[in-house]
Structure 1
């Protein structure tokens, strides 16, 4: 079994129970597992010189929409709030096809890898009629790129005719969605240690799903011991919609259904009052904080500190690249830090925790997010010998977020395999990916 020794990292940020940071430290990887962490280890194997670099657990992205990567910066919705943004893009997404999904998945994951992401959750929820298997193409590309992947089988079951936001031809019947949950779990889901692929049922949002779908999803997920995922409390429009159509605020509605808990991941969570925060915290619900998208759409800033103090598990998500408009998870961490300064101040180390161990907890995993023996060999190196870090050496760990740099890691290892080295992808040539993206982008433009 191959052994790799990271030698003399300037600082190893362990994210263990003591939040340990070890200077001039070695880390030994055997196969896909970390086997030793300590100073001056006399170990044989391939040596990686980590001097001048900070070694951390790989970042964990808990909310994304890969297919949106080819809809960045669209003029018609550059200044639109969420509901207007969605109404325009639903029409664009009718044209989703295999090439679009494959290319967008490659671009999204490549950008995530370069920014230090080793585990990603993607929320795929648009299934145009006759194209119900597009999610399988996404899974295939994710496997090729070797990222640790949690793919959600999203779904919309409440179209305009039932009082929902999406057009009727983009929604599906509850039975069809539930049947596909079963198919995907049977075909792909791996619940084992160091699993590279897990399935997450994920009704889309309160304004696009029926109560029946949420209830049936919960029953299915808990029967199969799966996480579940949805959007919640993203805008005031959503809150008003829920009050008018459901007679309750979004968080109240989910509590009544039972859709709260440690096995639930809620994206956004901006418009929550103190009672709502207590609701989510009481059940230790997972939250995916998406600050860039929340600002880009003018939605607001989530009360992350309060949610964490109330008992919620907190993580970071880049959200879809049509509302971010990047897939850079390291940069998203910096945005989370800065946004908190006008809401409920977070420290740099709290945000780094949310990016790593926090993300692992939200995804229901205890085998990633930490540099300790027995954990997955998901490791990133950040080179601080760069001009953008000059002058930040007083606290190099905090400097990862305060100074940041070009937001590309020097090295990214997932499951013991090096996928980024010297800040460059080893799997694909970036120029070819860009060319593929532009080709599909032109086709999208022709149909608008």
Structure 2
């Protein structure tokens, strides 16, 4: 017997208007749902309900869809990566961190994943695409949380290799890339049978510069054969673009188009450094058009790039070109509401135009855009027949008040502090602001221990043999009084 939940007389709701193809506000309505789908969005629900919640002082909205994250390692970089970057590598610290820190410990991965999932659920995320090399306990940790999980087991033909702080090298192992694809497909093929009923797969060669052309083509073909999404990091860095131009004489996006790996169901991680970007100023002006004509989606994750001083220079330009825009968290903190706010603020700054984006445009990307990119038209919408992934926002939380425009209050002011309850597949996963199925504090304690172990290995891995305090110093100098022992 499936349980029916009724939210009675919600003050506000963000409902889906299918005819208009957009979210709309509705007032004083009932929302009813089972574990399968939403039954009713409107006034006067007359059916039976097993659980009734008083909707006064609440806003009901669809769950957010996060299409790009790395749950299993990003939280362990807290206190390490926020200001780590190399001016000699166009400000990014990505390549240096990848060689200096070992994040393959399954205990580290599981603790990091739990911490990230708690952050995501408390910020209203109900669907998450997690890009990671597979590890023991991955699928079970995501299933335990109650979230709707899109697992993207990563693989590549090469890994980055550094010999200095200004040039990017590669350690190639094409056979390992092939084995990685086989392992990924075996996991992806097993997920539909998972007892949770909430897990599915995404084919994910890691970075365009780290994969052979044949591996990229075969990966995209495997995704098309299975009807699953395909995701790839692309146009995420200046050094990547320089390497692709050296190899092929064209931009990363042009090369992807030439390979035939763009199209509906392809999600490009970041796609910031187009040929028109001010850091690139290429000799072509084709990249934005190529993205739009292909029908692919872009996963925009503003936080990690803003920390390096990188910006996607006009979110609105992508939307107006017809590109499906979606949002991701990528790094810690995994707070989707903060990402919506940053995406809008930074795009207006970069475009020098307050009209470049709107809150409605960004919310669309965080819901419907994400769902479309994952080939799911039953997510990211509050409408009869869609999946029962629902978020309840507390309109009386002080940071929400006055709630003249509750979506603006949520995005610009209250963020996760106002998220009271979250349901995924009709089941409650956040109650009164607390995650139901995971212990956030215990996971954070385990992650702290794992970070100490990781930092101790840094000198043996770093190409210059540096300890973590030399690689990424503390934000303030230590005065030497009562200093704890360092790993």
Superposition TM-score, scaled by structure 1 size? 0.90
Give the structure 2 partner of residue 175 of structure 1. 178
Query: Distance between the aligned counterparts of 1:85 and 1:171, measured in 2?
Result: 26
The 1:236–1:220 alpha-carbon spacing in structure 2 relative to 1, beyond 3 Å, is same
Give the structure 2 partner of residue 72 of structure 1. 78
Query: Distance between the aligned counterparts of 2:214 and 2:296, measured in 1?
Result: 21
Matches for 1:80-159 after TM superposition, within 5 Å: 80=86, 85-125=93-133, 133-134=134-135, 136-159=136-159
Query: Distance between the aligned counterparts of 1:310 and 1:76, measured in 2?
Result: 32
Give the structure 2 partner of residue 397 of structure 1. 407
* Cα deviation, residue 160, structure 1: 5.7
What is the SS of the residue equivalent to 1:74? coil
* Cα deviation, residue 224, structure 1: 1.6
Give per-residue Cα distances to partners, 1:275-301, cap 9 Å, x unaligned.
211101001111111111120122222
* Cα deviation, residue 114, structure 1: 0.6
Give the conservation status (yes or no) of the 8 Å contact 1:230–1:265.
yes
The 1:64–1:404 alpha-carbon spacing in structure 2 relative to 1, beyond 3 Å, is same
The 1:247–1:181 alpha-carbon spacing in structure 2 relative to 1, beyond 3 Å, is same
Which residue of 22, 26, 31 maps to 2:30? 26
Give per-residue Cα distances to partners, 1:386-424, cap 9 Å, x unaligned.
221224x33222222122345451111000110111111
Tell me which moved more, 339-348 or 252-261: 339-348
Tell me which moved more, 293-302 or 18-27: 293-302
Query: Distance between the aligned counterparts of 2:399 and 2:173, measured in 1?
Result: 46
The 1:140–1:93 alpha-carbon spacing in structure 2 relative to 1, beyond 3 Å, is farther
List runs of 5+ in structure 1 lacking aligned partners: 126-132
Give the conservation status (yes or no) of the 8 Å contact 2:192–2:200.
yes
* Cα deviation, residue 174, structure 1: 3.0
Give the conservation status (yes or no) of the 8 Å contact 1:190–1:198.
no
* Cα deviation, residue 248, structure 1: 1.0
Give the structure 1 partner of residue 64 of structure 2. 59
Give the structure 1 partner of residue 12 of structure 2. 11
Query: Distance between the aligned counterparts of 1:148 and 1:303, measured in 2?
Result: 30
Query: Distance between the aligned counterparts of 2:293 and 2:347, measured in 1?
Result: 23
> Rg bigger for which structure?
2
* Cα deviation, residue 147, structure 1: 0.9
Give the conservation status (yes or no) of the 8 Å contact 1:202–1:229.
yes
What is the SS of the residue equivalent to 2:414? coil
Matches for 1:298-309 after TM superposition, within 5 Å: 298-309=309-320
Query: Distance between the aligned counterparts of 2:329 and 2:116, measured in 1?
Result: 10
* Cα deviation, residue 93, structure 1: 4.4
Give the structure 2 partner of residue 129 of structure 1. none
Query: Distance between the aligned counterparts of 1:349 and 1:5, measured in 2?
Result: 26
Query: Distance between the aligned counterparts of 1:168 and 1:33, measured in 2?
Result: 48
- The reply to whether residue 348 of structure 1 matches residue 351 of structure 2 is no
Matches for 1:240-319 after TM superposition, within 5 Å: 240-272=242-274, 273=276, 274-319=285-330
Give per-residue Cα distances to partners, 1:160-214, cap 9 Å, x unaligned.
68999576389862321221133112322469xx951111111111222221211
Query: Distance between the aligned counterparts of 2:289 and 2:320, measured in 1?
Result: 10
